[in-house]
Amino acid sequence: MAPHNPSNTIDFDAAKLQRLGYASRLQKTLKPVSLAQLRQQLSLRLQTSLEVERILELFFSEVQRLVPLGALSYQLASCDLRLDLGERANHSAGYRLNHEGEYLGELTFRRNQRFSADELGQLESLLASLLFPLRNALLYRAALQSALRDPLTETGNRIAMQQTLKREVDIARRTLQPLSVLMVDIDHFKRVNDNHGHIVGDQALKAVANALKDSLRNVDVVFRYGGEEFMVLLSSTNREAASMVGERLRMAVLGIQYLVENQAIELSVSLGCATLLPGESMDSLLRRADNALFVSKRDGRNRLSMAG
């Protein structure tokens, strides 16, 4: 947990701190405490939450009763986690956090005055109170995310799909932005399982899921709808753009080079596309996309059909 100098400069948004209510708090005179008192209080306060963001906000607030800080940043790339609190500052002290050999991310303190050796020692002592609550919060976060993911394809599951689609439909209504969905079904998937076994079938499912994810924007989301069927959520995407995305996905799957015992397995998908209508419900949107998918399958598969 030795301090290091980060290689990249990080800009902090002071408005974030103000929105969290820390700006006014920092202007007040904080009641000084001893290192031992603060460690004891941190041990209690940081165990009151299982949210990573809340734990770090509490830690940032409490530490300043002993060591004045201008900002705190935290990131854990493997979990796509990043939190910035405070204002831009010139001097920093960064730490790589580990708990019993488990990597917990990078944390950086910043302020406009250099940190003294005594202050660095105090910060390092206080960090020891953060590690266990932070690890618990990260485990809890991972468990929640796992509950929303399909373990085979690493796409969202039906629960995640329902939650995300409902939110996106609400946003589209408020902002009057377009929203489209694609229903994607692997053609003749039963033949793959029957001819090559379910292990090969699982590998084919993963290959198709990866092809879909690799062909989309970061803001688009893929969900496993069930069996060999996926749903793709296209935010801020109108009918014409969704049609082009659908064709791109179809061609991406056709391009999969999947070999079993040096024998190529040809994979293709049928797609149905629907774009949200004014006042339309989430269920109606999915039903229209599913009906369009049925048309693609009825008309010969390996094609895209648009809902009317």
Per-residue model confidence as pLDDT tens digits over 154-195: 999 999 999 999 999 999 999 999 999 999 999 999 999 998
pLDDT tens string 216-245: 988 899 999 999 999 999 999 999 999 999
Q: What are the C-alpha distances in Å from 294 to residues 179, 187, 271, 273, 289?
A: 21, 12, 9, 11, 9
Q: Which of 245, 236, 238 is nearest to 172 (CA)?
A: 236
pLDDT at 263 over 80: no
73 and 211 inside one domain: no
The residue-averaged pLDDT of 73-82 equals: 89
- Which of helix, strand or coil describes residue 11? coil
Largest Cα–Cα separation, the chain: 76
- Residues 34 and 128 sit within 8 Å (Cβ to Cβ): no
CATH of the domain at 255: 3.30.70.270
CA-to-CA distance for 144 and 124, rounded, in angstroms?
30
165 and 143 inside one domain: no
Q: How many CA atoms lie within 13 A of 44 on its CB side?
A: 5
Sequence-ordered list of residues with C-beta below 8 angstroms from that of 6, at least 6 positions apart, any chain: 92, 94, 106, 108
- Which of helix, strand or coil describes residue 168? helix
pLDDT at 21 over 60: no
Question: What's the pLDDT at 32?
Answer: 62
Confirm whether pTM is higher than 0.85.
no
228 is known as an active-site residue: yes
The residue-averaged pLDDT of 188-213 equals: 93
The residue-averaged pLDDT of 292-303 equals: 97
Q: Domain tally for the chain?
A: 2
The amino acid at 2: A
277 and 201 inside one domain: yes
152, part of any domain: no
Question: What's the pLDDT at 236?
Answer: 94
CA-to-CA distance for 35 and 127, rounded, in angstroms?
12
CA-to-CA distance for 229 and 233, rounded, in angstroms?
13
φ, ψ (nearest 5 deg) of residue 62? -70, -40
The residue-averaged pLDDT of 21-30 equals: 44
- Residues 20 and 61 sit within 8 Å (Cβ to Cβ): no
Length, in residues, of the chain:
308
User: Taking phi first (over 0 means left), then psi (-120 to 50 degrees means alpha), and beta for anything else, what does residue 31 get?
Assistant: beta
Question: What's the pLDDT at 33?
Answer: 81
For residue 208, the enclosing domain spans 158-306
249, part of any domain: yes
pLDDT tens string 79-98: 878 999 998 889 999 999 99
153, part of any domain: no
77 and 198 inside one domain: no
Question: What's the pLDDT at 112?
Answer: 95
CA-to-CA distance for 208 and 195, rounded, in angstroms?
18
Q: Which of 110, 79, 96 is nearest to 11 (CA)?
A: 110
Q: Which of 274, 158, 167 is nearest to 224 (CA)?
A: 158
Question: What's the pLDDT at 231?
Answer: 98
* Final residue in a domain of this structure, among 119, 147, 175: 147
12 and 80 inside one domain: yes
Dihedral, CA of residue 103, residue 15, residue 122 and residue 125, to nearest 10: -30
Residue 143: band (very low, low, confident or very high) from pLDDT cuts 50, 70, 90: confident
- Which of helix, strand or coil describes residue 192? helix
* Final residue in a domain of this structure, among 123, 147, 171: 147
Residue 247 Cα to chain centre, angstroms? 26
Question: What's the pLDDT at 218?
Answer: 83
2 pairs with which residues across the strands? none
Q: Which of 89, 44, 78 is nearest to 62 (CA)?
A: 44
Per the prediction, the chain carries an average pLDDT of 88
- Tell me which of 100, 228, 247, 280 is the catalytic residue: 228
- For residue 299, give both structure tokens: 């008309």
CA-to-CA distance for 67 and 118, rounded, in angstroms?
10
* 141 against 254, higher pLDDT: 254
